[in-house]
Amino acid sequence: MIDVVIDERGVAEIVMNNPPVNALPVRGWFDLAEALRAAGADPAVRAVVLRAEGRGFNAGVDIKELQAARDFGALVGVNRGCAAAFAAVYDCPVPVVAAVQGFCLGGGIGLCGNADVIVAADDATFGLPEVDRGALGAATHLSRLVPQHKMRAMMYTSATATAAELHAYGSVLRVVPRAELRGAALAVAHDIAAKDPAVIRAAKESLNGIDPWDPKRSYRYEQGYTFELNLTGVADRVRDDFGR
């Protein structure tokens, strides 16, 4: 589900591979977080490329796992797992380059929004369909990708934005044909890896230190409303209606 390869130049490729749509179950989110933490803790690693195999980058959480759960254990687990994975991207001591193809939805936005650099295929789309699933969350991270009012409109309507739109906003560094995505992301990561590693690690820490708000704290605040919607039964009703 999560594969890791480190090349001779110090770039770790962390690859999500969970067909058919890379929607991760509880265990998958924690495994991803652990892979990111391990890569950052390795002194030989100078940069990380986070990418995926298959049709899309990430479709968020495994809704079927939530629907099959007999209590709120899976909900708590997936919320904690997402928080851990998003934080692992943000806290990774080296820069994380996200390589995005196809759909980037829900939890995928959490990963990209906390990445240091985003390279996208020309077929990539970004969105938060949470309201259609009776949930909230990751507006914290979407607001790092698009302007405030665009984020609100996307949140309320479940609309998506294209890679070209995000490139125009400056949040996506490059848009390339899908066949060139991995190479383009690795090229950026290798440029970073060629710099002095002590300086780059200091730069990552300093940039996190000047962020206007803490995305981990902000995301946890959002999660409270998801729990409320589930406890009141609203989430089940909306998910059931959406699935019909």
Q: Shortest CA distance to 162 belongs to which of 106, 210, 103, 118? A: 103
Whole-number Å distance between alpha carbons of 103 and 66: 21
Whole-number Å distance between alpha carbons of 42 and 58: 25
* Residue 69 pLDDT: 84
Predicted confidence (pLDDT) per residue in 168-205, tens digit: 999 999 999 999 999 999 999 999 999 999 999 999 99
Burial label for 239, CB within 10 Å (0-12, 13-18, 19+), is middle
Residues of the chain with pLDDT under 50: none
Q: Shortest CA distance to 186 belongs to which of 27, 53, 50? A: 50
- CA distance readout (Å), 57 to 11, 93, 221: 19, 23, 25
* Residue 240 pLDDT: 78
Pairing of strands 2-6, 103-105: unpaired
- Does domain 2-180+196-243 correspond to CATH entry 3.30.9.10? no
* Residue 244 pLDDT: 62
Q: How is the chain split among helix, strand and coil, in percent rounded to 5? A: 55, 15, 30
